Chain A
Amino acid sequence: MKVTRFLAGAGGLALMGVGVSLLMDVRDLTGVLVWLGGAVVLHDALIAPLVLLVGLLLVRGGVRAGLRGPVRGALVVAGALTVVALPVLLRPGPRANSSVLPLDYPRNWLIALVTVAMVTVLAMAVRRFARGRRPPS
């Protein structure tokens, strides 16, 4: 086990070396480093605190403990859909042709969010119904 672990670590360092040597051939290395660092800063200083803040509001904001799971689930799914939709929603400039970004993305994004809300409400209703029917033990 120890040997496997050591080999995995050493192999990892070697692969990182391949990555670094490939990056050395890149022309605008400073730009790459800015974007690499930017990814960390964007997450650690903006996205993560925002998510934690939403979580805090959820707990402090009076959402009943029993509902927290489904509400959190809805927010996680809606958040993921929004992140994935950001490029198609916000891309500026002309398209290469009409088959690039051909859909009405703001409308589709809203459809996705409304679907998430409806599925969540439905799941909560089903759960409550199932609980109500269960004979007291």
Chain B
Amino acid sequence: MFRNGLLPSGMESMKLRVSPPVFKGRLHDARTATSIGRWLGAAFAVCFLTGLISHFMQHPPDWLANHIPSRPAWGYRVSQGLHVASGIAAIPLLLAKLWTVYPRLFEWPPVRSVRHALERLSVAVLVAGAGFELATGLLNTAQWYPWPFSFVPVHYAVAWLVVGALFLHIAVKAPEIRTHWSRRSPGTLALPSQDGPERRSLLTAVGAAVGAVTLTTVGQSFTPLKDLVLLAPRHPDHGPQALPVNRTAAAAGVGRIADEEYRLVVAGPRPYTLTLEELRALPQHEVDLPIACVEGWSKSAHWTGVRVVDLLERADAPAQARVRVVSLQLRGGYRVSEMGHEHARDPLTLLALRLNGEELAPDHGYPARLIAPNRPGVLQTKWVGRLEVLA
């Protein structure tokens, strides 16, 4: 019964023997890891840089607050669309990369030296952080928050941890990466040649997976592909006036604001108040600008309204002044937004009264909302009741 040596005789049987699993499958090699790692590294680089852009646009430090450029008008739309798309593309890449190096988890002995221990620790941080960022980011796009902490500061902090661990990882693995960089690199040539076609088949599959997850989601911001949106949490055509919304009028506690009760207060060196009728009588301008949400969806729309710069000049606002935009909403965050002088003075920046030729729906900020170029959607304040010129 015990012929197979499962229970050897004598003292040996008394010892608990733990041995690492043996991996007989192919392609758990440095060339496969390098090929996938190159793409994963690129995806993470794009994700990190666009994440930084988004962070500084929403939470600018004091030295930057008045210098955020208002052009290109499509800037934030492209950068945040790339942030979410590169994050989604990184999901199959990360899983494939981890599959490739999984046997390394069972290295024996687990720790050879202090240096080796530190190296493994840095990989653990990288794996933990990378999985954490992609998982929390993806869940956030679906507005699902099953964790106890606040998403934005933690997602931001862990991003630095991941990028740091990635730099460290690349530095540690540099010799291996170099010798496996291409198909003809010396390290690649030293691997069994029959693995070549197998590897190409696997890499094609991973590439196809990246393509599939991208095609089925990217239409939420890249509208030419909106008909392929199967799995994205938003569709550009779904929402009041065929434009998605985040906070509805009901959720903001404003409902439908009565025309005769509405007042716009412009507080500056020469303050004044306008009724809705007076606002509608001012010169109206038309612009095509996108709403680009931090969660990744975006859609361009045709807006009609009064130029903010016209309103500011009537109040004698200094050219370099920042402006605070205050909403009439009673509940929820982002009731107040601020913009630097470039946004305030940009002729595309409107206090919009109409959307695609119709009056704004209450959920889009009736009777008046801010729409400005190159600006995160949460800062395109709705139900605007007050513009304050800041010194």
Contacts and interface: CB of A to CB of B under 8 A. Distances in A.
A80 B233 contact: no
A6 B245 CA distance: 48
Interface in B123-174: 124-125, 127-132, 135-136, 138-139, 141-144, 147-150, 153-154, 156-172, 174
Given A22-B156, A40-B128, A84 B88 contact: yes
Contact of B157 (A26, A47, A52, A77): A26
Interface residues of B, number: 80
B37 interface: no
A87 B235 contact: no
A89 to B, nearest CB: 9
A8 B144 CA distance: 36
Interface residues of B, dominant DSSP: helix
A136 to B, nearest CB: 20
A36 B128 contact: yes
Interface in A8-34: 8-9, 11-20, 22-23, 25-28, 31-32
A103 B205 contact: no
Interface residues on A, range: 35 or more
A104 B122 CA distance: 41
A43 B164 contact: no
B138 A100 contact: no
Given A25-B153, A95-B143, A97-B363, A80 B92 contact: yes
A5 interface: yes
B147 A31 contact: yes
Contacts of B86: none
Contact of B164 (A17, A73, A83): A17
A121 B198 CA distance: 19
Contact of A40 (B127, B148, B217): B127
B131 A39 contact: yes
Contacts of A23: 154, 157-158, 161
Contacts of A79: 92, 95, 209
Contact of B91 (A42, A80, A111, A112): A80
B160 A72 contact: no
A112 B248 contact: no
A98 interface: yes
A18 B164 contact: yes
A28 to B, nearest CB: 4
Interface string A79-117: 111011101100110011111111101001101100010
A77 B105 CA distance: 25
Contacts of B201: 69, 72-73
Given A26-B157, A99-B245, 12 more contacts: A5-B171, A9-B168, A9-B171, A16-B161, A19-B163, A31-B148, A32-B149, A39-B130, A76-B206, A84-B216, A100-B233, A102-B235
Interface of B: 25, 88, 91-92, 95-96, 98-99, 102, 105, 124-125, 127-132, 135-136, 138-139, 141-144, 147-150, 153-154, 156-172, 174, 198, 201-202, 204-206, 208-210, 212-213, 216-217, 229-235, 238-240, 244-248, 251, 363
